[in-house]
Structure formats: C-alpha cells, structure tokens
Amino acid sequence: MLSRGRPIDLEHLPAELSGMPADVDLATVTRPLAQAVREFEREYLTRALHLAGGVRVRAAQLLGISRKTLWMKLRELGVANGDNGSEVIEDGDAPEDV
C-alpha cells in the first residue's frame, strides 16, 4: 500500500485487517528468520530429548536423523551438555552414524 510519507506496515492496520491479535508484539514476530529458525530448532530438539528421556540415540530415532547429526546440531545450538533441563545420557565417546 502507498501512503503519503512513510509506508503503511502491519502495525498501522487494525487487528481485523492485519490478521494478528492486537496484543501481539511485532518486534517478536518480525525477528530475523535465521534467529526464529534457530530458536525453533533448539526447542524442537530439546523437546525430542525430553521425550526420549535424555537418551540421544532414542531422540535421533524420534527425529528421523542419525545420532551424529543430532550430536552436531545439539552442539551447534548449545544443548550438548543437557541444557534442556533433563539429563542427557551419553551414547558413547565419539558419535557415529546409525
């Protein structure tokens, strides 16, 4: 949409037109995609670890990925040492593909 001066954005529209509830914080909704994906992936992996009782092999099976892939992702996201609130049971010293 065009307006005189600045562009009209979602924050300028009423809730019924923007499709978002009036109490939504647009700063949270419009964070960079990479940050949103990282936060989602971290939450998703920690949830899988919790469901697997902290057993990484079982979590990897639930997710349909290899244990090595899970290990790398957990390390990359800072969850490698059980930061998800449940005890992580080690599956061996060096990760291998399963």
Q: What does the pLDDT look like over 19-61, one tens digit per residue?
A: 666 666 666 667 789 999 999 999 999 999 999 999 999 999 9
Please say whether the beta carbons of 42 and 77 come within 8 A.
yes
- Give CA–CA dist 29/67, Å, rounded: 32
pLDDT at 6: 76
Whether the CB-CB separation of 83 and 49 falls below 8 Å is answered with: no
In the prediction, which pLDDT does 38 show? 94
Q: In the predicted model, what is the mean pLDDT of residues 62-79?
A: 94
Residue 43 contacts residue 77 (beta carbons within 8 Å): no
pLDDT on residue 20: 65
Would you say the pTM of this structure is higher than 0.85? Answer: no
Architecture of domain 32-98: Orthogonal Bundle (1.10)
